[in-house]
Amino acid sequence: MKNKVIIITGASSGIGRACASAFFKRGARLALVARTESKLIELTNSIQNLGGEAMYVVADVSNESDCAKMIGKVVDRYGQIDVLVNNAGISMRALFLDLDLADFKKVMNINFYGTIYATKYALTHILARQGSVVGVSSIAGHKGLPARTAYSASKFAMRGFLEALRIENLKKGLHVLIASPGFTASNIRQNALNSSGENQQESPRNETKMMSAEEVSERIVIAVQKRQNSIVLTSQGKLLVFLNKFLPNLVDRLVFRSLSKEKKSPF
C-alpha cells in the first residue's frame, strides 16, 4: 500500500474512519470523502500531523455531479487512483408497509447509486493502475433482513453490480472486493432512518458485543493486499451465509426470532 492512492467514501466515522487509519499505517496516500466538513478536517489534520499524506473532499455520493467532481479533485492532486473504497452508507429500520418510498429511495441512492457513481468516474483511473474497487456491503446483502428491506435491497444490488463488474474486467487486471461485515460497532444504527424518515438515534442492539470498526478495517485492508474477491466477517455472519445455502427456511425463522427481540422492534 506504500504511496498508493486510496479513496474512502463515508470516511468521517465508523468503518470509513477506521479504514483511513489502517491504510495510513501502511503508507498510503488518502482521499477522504464525506458530507461533514468539520469531521473531515479533523481526520485529515490528525493524519497529516502524524506524517501522513491526506486530502479531503466534501461530497454527497448520492449526487452524480459530486462524485464526478470528487474524482477530478483526487486525480488533480495525486495523478492516480489505486483503490476506491465504497463505504458511504445509511441504514433504515422500518416495516416496508409503514415506510415512505422517498426514504427507501434515499437509502438506495446513497448505498447503491453512491457506489455506481463513484466507481463510474474512478474506473478508468483504477484500470490504468490495475487497482481495486471495494464495496463495503453487509450480511444483509446475502440474506434479506426484516425491517431492513431498503438496506438489504441496496446491499444485494451493490453485490450484484460488483460481481458483474469483476467479470467484465476479468482480463484487465481489475480487483473487486465485496466485504460483508456482520453487526459492527459504529454509529450506523443510531443514524438509521425509522418509518418517519428520521434518525432512530439509539441502537437497538448491544454495541459492546459487536466486532469493532477497527477490526473490520484491518480485514478489509488485508483483503485488498491479497486481492481477495470477497470476505464475510464475524462467525455469526459466516454461519448465517453458510446455512442459508442449504436451509433457507430455517434461517428465515432464526433471523425473524433474533431481530424480533431487538429493542423497540417494529414487528
Q: Which residues are catalytic?
A: 151
Taking Cα atoms as reference points, which of 111, 96, 199, 200 lies closest to residue 146? 96
| Residues composing the chain | 267
- DSSP H or E stretch at residue 31: strand 29-34
Q: Exposure string (b/e) for 67-87, b if CB count within 10 Å is 16 or more?
A: bbebbebbbeebebbbbbbbb
Which grid cell is 138?
Answer: 453487509
Compute the distance between CA of residue 267 and CA of residue 142 in angstroms, rounded to an integer. 21
Under a CB-based contact definition with an 8 Å cutoff, are residues 193 and 148 in contact? no
Task: Read off the amino acid at residue 234.
Answer: T
Residue 262: HSE in the Cβ half-sphere, 13 Å Cα cutoff:
22
Under a CB-based contact definition with an 8 Å cutoff, are residues 181 and 139 in contact? yes
Residue 81: HSE in the Cβ half-sphere, 13 Å Cα cutoff:
28
Helix, strand, coil: what percent of the chain each, to 5?
A: 50, 15, 35
